[in-house]
Amino acid sequence: MNISCRVTYFGYFFLFFLGVTGCARKTSTSTGQYFLGTSTFKGNKVISDSDLDALIPQRPNSRFLSLPIFPKVGIYQFGELFYKKEEKQRKVIEVTQNYQKESRLHENNVRQLEKIQRRYAKKLARAQKRVDEGNFWMRVLGEAPVYYIRSEVVKNAEKMQKYLYNNGFFQSSVTFKNDTTFKRIQVKYFIDENRPTILDNINYQVRNQMIDSLLKSSSKDAVLISKKRYDGDAFEEERVRIETLLRNQGYFGFSRQNVSFLINDTITKPKTDSIFRTVDVNVNVSLPAKEKNPVPYTIESVRFEVLPPAGLPDSLFKKDTVYSQGIQYIFADKKFAPRILDTKIVVRPGQLYSQKNERDTQRQLSLTDQFRFVNYSFDSTGHNLKVHYQAVPLEKYQVSADVGLNVIQLQGAPGPFANLSYKIRNVFNGLENFEANLRGGIELVPGFVENNGIYRSQEIGLNTSLTFPRLLIPVHSFQRKSALYNPRTQIGLGYNYVERPEYTRTNVKVAMSYSWQPTAKTLWTLSFIDLNILNTTKKSTDFQILLDTLFDQGNNLKYSFQPSFVSDVNLTFVHNTNSIIGPQKNAHYLRVALESGGTTLNILPGQQRWIQDIFGELQFYKYLRANIDYRRYWPTGRRSSFIARVNSGAIYSYGSGNVTPYEKYFFAGGSNSLRAWLPRRLGPGSAAPRVISSSTSSNLTFEAPGDLLLEGNLEWRGHLAKFFGDINYALFIDAGNVWSLSKSAPEAQKLKPDTFLKEIAVGTGFGIRYDLSFFILRFDFGTKIYDPYTNKFVLDKLEFNKLFNRRQENFLNVNLGVGYPF
C-alpha cells in the first residue's frame, strides 16, 4: 500500500516537472503545438507598434528568467490531472436548487430572503468560476498554454490590414514571417503603409431646415475636418455628435443610423500626387422613416419608482405614492425625501426631451451612494414621452473592516494598520450618509536610528462625518442650479492621537466643507470651517533640548509644539483626465490648494479671547499657504508609460511670532517625494541634518520642515513579468528641496538666488511594483546623485558591500509604499 502511494506521488511529481519545463514536442506548426512567442512590427512609420499590438488577442505565456521554461503552464497542466468539469457543473446546479428551495421556505420573510440571496449569489459565483476557469492550480497558480496557430496569425494580419485602411492607408499591405527558437515561434509582421488619404471637401446634405440650421450653428464642433488624414473612427464619432446634438434638442426618434456618408474616391483629381490621395465626403442626414416633418418630443410625465431590494417580489411591500414638482414618486420599503430627489431629477414634465438631461439624471442619482442601480424607460404617444425611472436601493447599514500597510503622504514610513468603518445611508430620509471610521496604525522603520534601532510611531484616530447630497446654503435657487454638479456638504468631527519617539500629539478637529463637480474631470472643494485644537502632551528631553537650541538661534519652531488653535479657510481645485480603470492614456493631473489660516481672527478680533476663556491659553496662527501639484502621463506602449511631475508649495506666516502650524510645513524626502532621502529629512537648503543626541547613544535625525517646496520627478514605468499579478518596474530621477523663508533662519536654510541651483538635491533609482489590481505593493530603491548638504556628487560613494548602511555618505534607501507615488 505504501509503495503504491509512493509510485502515485512520484508519477504526479514527474508529470508536474514535465509541465514546468514547458515541453511542447510536436514539430508541426499548423497543429498549434509550438508555444507562441513575441510579435514584432517592421516598416510602420505613422501607425505605432502599440496600436498594432493591441489588435493581437493572443498573449505569450510567461517564462522563467526569459528561458524557454514555462512554470505556470506546467502548474496549469498539473492541475488538469485533478480537474473534472462535469463535477463542477453539477455543483452549479446543486447550488441553484438549494437557493430555490430555501427561497420557497422563506418566501414571506423579506429580510430572510435578502440574506439568502446575498449568501447564494456568492456561492453561485464561486461555483461558476470553477467551471469556467478550473481548479485552484489552473485558476490561481497556473496559466493555460498559448500555442502558435497559423490561422490566428493570418487573422491578425487581416485585422491590421483593416486597421490601416480604417486609418486612411487604402493601399497598405501586411505580411508576416515566423522564426522558430526553443519550441517558440516568434512572428514578425511587415507593414507597408503606402500613401495616406486626406479629406478634401466635406458637404452636409440635410432636407429639414431646422435640423440644417442646428448643424450649421455647431459646425465648429464637427469631427470631420478638411485636410486631415482619413480616419474611419472619426466618421462614427461624427455620427454620434450629430445624434447627440439633435436628441438634446428634442428629436427623440433620431439615431446615428440616420447619418450616412458617401465617399468619392478622387484618384484622378489634380490635387492628388505621389505623397497622398484625396477624397470628398458627403454627409447625408436623413429623417426617421415615419416622420416626414419631424417635431421635437415633449416630456408628458415623469415617474420615479424605488423598487424593493434586489430579487424580492413587489407583492411583499405596500407602496406609497407621492407627487412633487409634477413628478410621481413611488416608494417600496424605503422612503426618500421627494424635495431632495427633485434636485437630482432634471427631466421635467412640459420640457423638450433632452438626452443630456436624461443621462445627467441617472448619473446624479447614481452618485448619491443610495442606489444599487438606476434604470429608465420611455413610453411614447405621438410626440409626447412618459419617462419611468426605476431604482434599487443599497443596504441602509454597512460595516467594513480592512488591514493593510500604512504609508503617510510624503513620509513613507510603513507599518501595519487596521481600519473599521460603519456607514448609515439615508439617515434623515434625505439621501444623507453618516460614516464613522476608526483607524489605528504603527510605523516601524528598522535601522532609522543608530545602532540598528527601530524608529517607531503609532497613531489612532476616530473620524465621523455626515454628508448631505446638496450645498447647505440659504439660497434655494443656487441649490437648484448646482444640482447637476454632484454637490455635497460634509460636516466632520474627529480625534487623532500620534505618538513618536520625539513627541506625543493630539488633534481635535471640526470641519464643514462643500464640494462640487462641474465636469467629470474637475472637482472643487471649499471649506469655510476647519477648526483644530492641537496639543503636544509629551516631548522627549532630547527633543526639547533641540527645540530650545533652535530657539536660541532665532528659530521659533518650539511654538508649533505648544497647545494651539488652528482655523483656516481653504479652496482646492482638481483637474484629472487620467482614467482610473482601463488602458493608460495621454493624460494630466492638476491640483491647486489655497489656504488662509486665522482668517476669522482678522474679521472677529474678540474671537481669540473667547476661545481662550473656554480652552485656556493657546497659540494662534495666521498664515497663507499654497500648493500646486502637476503631473503628465505619456503612454509609450501597451504596458509602459513615462510620467513627469512638478510639486511646489509655499507658506507665509504673519501672526504673532510668525509661527507656522507644524502640520502645515512642507517636507521633502520619502516614498512620494525624493526617494533617495529618508522621509521628511531633506533640507532645508544645504543645512546639516538635525540630530537629537540621546543619552541612550541612539541618535535620531529630526524632520526638516520648510516654508517653500520645489520638487520634480521623472519616472519610466514598464511591465516585467506576471506572477499571480503583474510585476512592473520603474526607473526614476527625483530632484528638489525645501527652504526656509524666515529672516531669522540660518543662512544655509534660506532661499538665495546665488546658491539655489547648488541646493537642488538629485537622486535616482529603480522600483518594483506588484500589481494585484485591487492592491499595489511598491518597493522603490533610491540613491543620491547630488547632495546639497555636502555640495558634491556622491553617486560614486555608493559601496556595493554597504548598500543599506545609512551611516555611509551614500546608501540605497528602501521605500515601501502602497499604490503609485504619483
What are the CB-based long-range contacts (under 8 Å, 24+) for 111-114? 113/311, 113/312, 114/309, 114/311, 114/312
Q: How confident is the model at residue 89, as a pLDDT?
A: 87
DSSP 282: E
Q: Tell me how many degrees the CA angle 572-577-579 measures, rounded to the nearest 5.
A: 115
CA pair distance 389, 376, nearest whole angstrom:
4
Does 338 score more than 60 pLDDT? yes
Looking at per-residue confidence, does 30 or 708 come out higher?
708
CA pair distance 245, 257, nearest whole angstrom:
14
369-398 core/surface letters (b: 16 or more CB in 10 A; e: else): ebbeebebeeeeeebebebbbbbbbbeeee
Work out the percent of the chain whose per-residue pLDDT is above 90.
31
Looking at per-residue confidence, does 444 or 554 come out higher?
554
pLDDT band at 16 (very low <50, low <70, confident <90, very high): very low
Q: How confident is the model at residue 411, as a pLDDT?
A: 36
Q: How far apart are the first and last CA of the chain?
A: 60
Q: How confident is the model at residue 128, as a pLDDT?
A: 87
Does 510 score more than 90 pLDDT? yes
How, if at all, do strands 298-306 and 327-332 pair? parallel
Per-residue pLDDT tens over the stretch 233-285: 899 999 999 999 999 999 888 888 989 999 886 544 555 556 788 889 999 99
Look at the block and give the residue holding cell 513615462: 642
Mean residue pLDDT of the chain comes to 83
Instruction: Lowest mean pLDDT of 176-185, 244-253, 260-269, 457-466, name the range.
Output: 260-269
Q: What is the number of alpha carbons within 13 Å of residue 761 lying toward its C-beta?
A: 33
Instruction: Lowest mean pLDDT of 188-192, 251-255, 442-446, 738-742, name the range.
Output: 442-446
As a whole number, mean pLDDT of residues 761-788 equals 90
pLDDT band at 486 (very low <50, low <70, confident <90, very high): confident
Work out the percent of the chain whose per-residue pLDDT is above 70.
86
Instruction: Lowest mean pLDDT of 473-487, 621-635, 651-665, name the range.
Output: 473-487
CA pair distance 215, 223, nearest whole angstrom:
12
Q: How confident is the model at residue 626, as a pLDDT?
A: 96
Per-residue pLDDT tens over the stretch 380-415: 888 899 999 988 888 889 998 876 555 443 333 455
Q: How confident is the model at residue 291, as a pLDDT?
A: 65
Within 523-651, residue ranges assigned H as helices are 541-552, 599-603, 607-615
Per-residue pLDDT tens over the stretch 709-753: 999 999 999 888 777 678 899 999 999 999 998 887 888 899 999
Does 328 score more than 90 pLDDT? yes
Per-residue pLDDT tens over the stretch 634-682: 988 777 899 999 999 999 988 776 788 888 999 999 888 999 998 888 9
Instruction: Lowest mean pLDDT of 183-197, 296-310, 690-704, 783-797, name the range.
Output: 690-704
CA pair distance 291, 305, nearest whole angstrom:
32
DSSP-based three-state secondary structure for 467: strand
**What distance separates the 2 farthest-apart alpha carbons in the chain?**
94
Q: How confident is the model at residue 85, as a pLDDT?
A: 84
Q: How confident is the model at residue 386, as a pLDDT?
A: 93
How, if at all, do strands 619-620 and 564-576 pair? parallel
pLDDT band at 515 (very low <50, low <70, confident <90, very high): very high
| 680, 668 Cβ separation under 8 angstroms | yes
Q: How confident is the model at residue 6, as a pLDDT?
A: 43
DSSP-based three-state secondary structure for 589: strand
Q: How confident is the model at residue 580, as a pLDDT?
A: 57
Does 595 score more than 90 pLDDT? yes
Does 354 score more than 90 pLDDT? yes
pLDDT band at 292 (very low <50, low <70, confident <90, very high): low
115-130 core/surface letters (b: 16 or more CB in 10 A; e: else): ebbeebeebbeebbeb
